């Protein structure tokens, strides 16, 4: 290949990076936690992946300054609610910043719950303990050791890609 045909790389802008990542569809989750004074916090998160099977560890990336991140780090626990295809309104609600979002959904906590479980909107919930956290730019990567998994039946997952929420395609 002629090296003169390779374009000179330039630093990516935030908009270019958003466009890049929008072409990589991913599942949608709502990360929930209860802060140190007992207030429920939560945010939509598509930056989630498995890290280790033994022990079971996942990672989530949460925005610096978000009340959800503060609650996760303050209590050292959080829940990852994997949303099903009919939960698009909940994904949008928890992405909106609405301070009354928990008034709009059915949720519960109980013994062993690391954060609120979205009863009607999540097909699976992972209760996690914070193993470590690493600041990276305008987000913090939080590693959570999965302590318990709760399944709420077989449901089609909700995906996010091309800046749109969509259900997993039918077979």
Q: What is the DSSP letter of 25?
A: -
pLDDT in tens, the chain (171 residues): 556 677 777 788 888 877 776 766 788 999 999 999 999 999 999 899 999 999 999 999 999 999 999 999 999 999 999 999 999 999 999 999 899 999 999 999 988 899 999 999 999 999 999 999 999 999 999 999 999 999 988 899 998 887 888 888 776
Q: What span, in angstroms and rounded, lies between the C-alpha atoms of 79 and 142?
A: 12
pLDDT digits (tens, 9 = 90+) for 62-97: 999 999 999 999 999 999 999 999 999 999 999 998
CB 57 within 8 A of CB 145: yes
Taking CA 100 as the corner, what is the angle to CA 135 and CA 118, rounded to the nearest 5 degrees?
75
How far apart, in Å, are the Cα atoms of 138 and each of 14, 111, 141? 11, 33, 10
Say what the pTM is.
Answer: 0.88
Taking CA 17 as the corner, what is the angle to CA 72 and CA 139, rounded to the nearest 5 degrees?
15
Instruction: Write down the pLDDT at residue 83.
Output: 97
Q: What span, in angstroms and rounded, lies between the C-alpha atoms of 115 and 80?
A: 8
Token pair, residue 136, equals 């990276």
Burial grade of 47 (CB within 10 A; 0-12, 13-18, 19 or more): middle
């Amino acid at each position: 290949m002629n090296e003169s045909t390779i374009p000179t790389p330039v630093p990516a802008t935030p908009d270019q990076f958003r466009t890049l990542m929008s072409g990589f569809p991913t599942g949608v989750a709502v990360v929930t936690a209860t802060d140190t004074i007992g207030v429920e916090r939560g945010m939509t998160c598509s930056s989630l992946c498995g890290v280790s099977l033994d022990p079971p560890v996942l990672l989530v990336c949460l925005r610096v300054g978000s009340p959800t991140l503060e609650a996760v780090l303050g209590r050292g626990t959080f829940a990852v609610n994997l949303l099903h295809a009919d939960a698009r309104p909940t994904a949008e609600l928890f992405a909106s910043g609405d301070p009354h979002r928990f008034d709009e959904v059915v949720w519960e906590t109980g013994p062993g719950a690391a954060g609120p479980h979205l009863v009607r909107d999540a097909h699976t919930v992972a209760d996690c303990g914070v193993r470590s956290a690493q600041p990276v730019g305008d987000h913090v990567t939080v590693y959570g050791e999965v302590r318990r998994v709760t399944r709420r039946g077989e449901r089609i997952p909700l995906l996010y890609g091309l800046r749109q929420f969509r259900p997993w395609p039918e077979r």
